[in-house]
Amino acid sequence: DAETGKNAWSTPRPVPNSWASPALIINAGRAEVVTCANPFVISYDPATGKELWRVECLSGDVAPSPAYANGIVYVCQDGAGVFAIKPPAPGTNDKPTRVWKSDVGATDTTSPACNGEIVILAASYGTVTCLDAKTGKLLWEEDLKVSFTASPIIAGNKVYLTDTDG
């Protein structure tokens, strides 16, 4: 609670440690906090902490944070893959849907970037991968022979990458 400094809510999570930052999304008008950890992507109501939905798809130490565009959550973890997940519509009993999975481009540290058309992934060992956001199809992949610990950014029709040398 911002006024009192007391916890507004606390929800135990059925996962081990995670390095991923949560993402706040607006799903058909409803705010959701999406978290990533081994093995789940879990969405919570930010007002109450109530779990809204979950998908089992990740593994290992999860560092990449989720991305969100055009109603789809994009998550990844090296060794598990890259996943596109459609959250259920608020007020329904629908389950989340795994739209696609790619075994190409999953990162160990950096988070995916998505503009609704493409998903850009920059692996710590220097490979940058571009997937079609709707299908997960590999559009291109390039080894830039540099290291990345910063996540890519898409702004307009440009992708910005910052390697470890700046």
- The per-residue pLDDT for range 79-120, each reduced to its tens digit, is 999 999 999 999 999 999 999 999 999 999 999 999 999 999
Amino acid at 10: S
Confidence at 17, pLDDT banded by 50, 70, 90: confident
List the one residue out of 114, 34, 115, 124 whose CA is nearest residue 77. Answer: 124
Radius of gyration of the chain (CA): 16
Average pLDDT over the chain, rounded to an integer: 96
The Cα–Cα gap between 40 and 38 comes to 5
CA atoms within 13 A on the CB side of 126: 6
What are 120's two structure tokens? 């850009």
Amino acid at 72: I
What are 16's two structure tokens? 């081990």
Chain CA centroid to CA 14, Å: 18
Q: What is the pTM of this model?
A: 0.95
